[in-house]
Homo-oligomer: A and B are copies of this chain.
Amino acid sequence: MKLASAPAPTGNRFERRRQRTRSELVTAATRVLARKGFHETKVTDIAAAADVGVGTFYLHFRDKEALFHAVVAETAARLKATVDAARERADGPVDQVLAANAAFCRFAEQNREVFKIVFGHAAAYDDVIRRAQALFAGDIEATVREGVASGAFAALPPAAVAQAVVGMATQMLSWWAEHEAVSIQTVHDTLSTMALRALCATPPTSPDKGVSDG
Q: Enumerate chain A interface residues (CB-CB to B < 8 A).
A: 1, 38-39, 51-53, 56, 65, 68-69, 72-73, 75-76, 79-80, 83-84, 87, 92-94, 96-98, 100-102, 104-106, 108-109, 112, 115-116, 118-122, 125, 128-129, 131-133, 135-136, 139-140, 143-144, 146-147, 150, 152-154, 156-157, 159-161, 163-178, 181-182, 184, 186-188, 190-200, 203-204, 207, 210-211, 213-214
Which residues of B lie under 8 Å from residue A173 when comparing CB positions? 104-105, 108, 115, 119
Q: How far is the CA of A182 from the CA of B192 in the complex (A)?
A: 26
Q: How far is the CA of A144 from the CA of B166 in the complex (A)?
A: 21
Which residues of B lie under 8 Å from residue A101 when comparing CB positions? 169, 188, 191-192, 195
Name A's interface SS: helix
A126 to chain B, nearest CB (A): 8
Contact B191 A52 (CB under 8 A): no
Contact A177 B73 (CB under 8 A): no
For the complex with contacts A164-B191, A194-B198, A194-B199, 7 further pairs of A-B residues with Cβ separation under 8 Å are A76-B131, A102-B192, A102-B213, A157-B182, A159-B181, A160-B187, A168-B171
Which residues of B lie under 8 Å from residue A184 when comparing CB positions? 105, 108-109
Contact B83 A177 (CB under 8 A): no
Q: How far is the CA of A106 from the CA of B191 in the complex (A)?
A: 13
Q: How far is the CA of A119 from the CA of B195 in the complex (A)?
A: 19
Number of copies: 4
Contact A171 B174 (CB under 8 A): no
Q: How far is the CA of A75 from the CA of B161 in the complex (A)?
A: 24
Contact A120 B167 (CB under 8 A): no
A40 to chain B, nearest CB (A): 10
Contact B143 A160 (CB under 8 A): no
Q: How far is the CA of A168 from the CA of B79 in the complex (A)?
A: 17
Which residues of B lie under 8 Å from residue A152 when comparing CB positions? 92-94
Known: A125-B65, A197-B197. A171 touches B166 (CB 8 A): yes
